[in-house]
Homo-oligomer: A and B are copies of this chain.
Amino acid sequence: MVDNLVVVGVGLIGGSFARALKKAGAVRRIVGIERSPAYGERALALGIVDEVATSFDAVAGADLVLLAAPVAQTRRILAALAPHLGPGTVVTDAGSTKADVVAAARAALGGKVAQFVPGHPIAGRETNGPDAAIDDLYIGKKFVLTPLPENGAAQVERVAGAWRACGAVIHRLTPEEHDKVFAAVSHLPHLLAYALVDDIANKAHADLLFQYAASGFRDFTRIAGSSPEMWRDISLANQGALLAELDAYMTQLAHLRARLAAGDGATLEAVYGNAQRARRQWIEAIEAAEAPQPIDNAE
């Protein structure tokens, strides 16, 4: 049970966290800190938070503080709340990159950094703001904890317990592992999809090309519909790992280009076949994990 929760940023991520904890009966009182007066009023009207504050005074006496503002603001927010941070408060975040957040926390919190337990909920929707917040956003989704060596077990458990109460499944990685993993399976695909659509849009005959694009193209480029500002920030925040993944992919493309130019159908088929097989195994594993568990009727 969280007695006093502070959520910094009451949009989709922060608002859904608040709603899920309320529904689970796992929180007593929630204060939202919000720069946008419209978002603050709306979150209050929707019953997402019990009170809205604009100053970080509100952090004093909180059990748990969730940062759910844009990642690029993390350091500024931590520096602003540091003076109000009592020893009994644990702070966590929901950013899509972790090594940069840890660096920001060390710089902004100094000796209080043990109170910061970084994390990343793997969930989202295509809409934003308090009206997009729902109480079941995190049910069955992964929450990746990336604790610091300084964190105490009770501090980590306070964060893990709150996310568990939201229905999330807790995973643990180091910040560096986290950033490498998401560079490969999320950040690189976003960059590739943006690059393809931009490439086509800049061609002289772009209208003709888009006219014949079909459902395969639509799905391949769906992630290029994401927020350019958010993905600019993620790309820069995870620059090192993203560059490494991009380099590996460009090497792979150069190899495939050479095989295609040589008319080497056997290699193309082997690469395509390996990809098809790996993807099928992945999809089967997901479907098995998401399938309803059989009910045991035996006594």
Contact = CB atoms under 8 A, between A and B. Distances in A.
Interface string A276-299: 111110110110000000000000
A198 B228 contact: no
Interface string A250-267: 101110110011010100
Contact of A285 (B193, B210, B261, B286): B210
B221 A223 contact: no
A200 interface: yes
A184 B198 contact: no
Given A210-B282, A217-B186, A223-B220, A194 B228 contact: no
B256 A195 contact: yes
- Of the four ranges (under 10, 10 to 19, 20 to 34, 35 or more), the interface on chain A belongs to 35 or more
Contact of A239 (B229, B260, B272, B276): B260
Given A228-B276, A279-B197, A250 B250 contact: yes
Nearest to A229: B269
Given A181-B209, A246-B260, A224 B275 contact: yes
A187 to B, nearest CB: 10
Given A122-B214, A210-B285, A196 B276 contact: no
Dominant secondary structure of chain A at its interface with chain B: helix
Contact of A222 (B203, B219, B224): B219
A104 to B, nearest CB: 16
A271 interface: yes
Contacts of A247: 257
Contacts of A195: 249, 252-253, 256, 271, 275
B185 A226 contact: no
29 contacts: A177-B208, A181-B209, A185-B212, A185-B213, A185-B214, A185-B217, A186-B212, A186-B213, A186-B216, A191-B260, A194-B276, A195-B256, A197-B275, A198-B278, A199-B248, A201-B274, A201-B278, A210-B282, A213-B282, A216-B222, A216-B223, A220-B222, A224-B276, A228-B273, A228-B275, A229-B269, A235-B265, A236-B260, A243-B257
Going nearest first, the 6 A-B pairs with the smallest beta carbon separation are A201-B278, A228-B272, A197-B275, A228-B273, A232-B269, A185-B213
Interface of A: 122, 142, 144, 177, 181-182, 184-186, 188-203, 206, 208-210, 212-214, 216-229, 231-233, 235-236, 239, 242-243, 246-250, 252-254, 256-257, 260-261, 263, 265, 268-269, 271-280, 282-283, 285-286
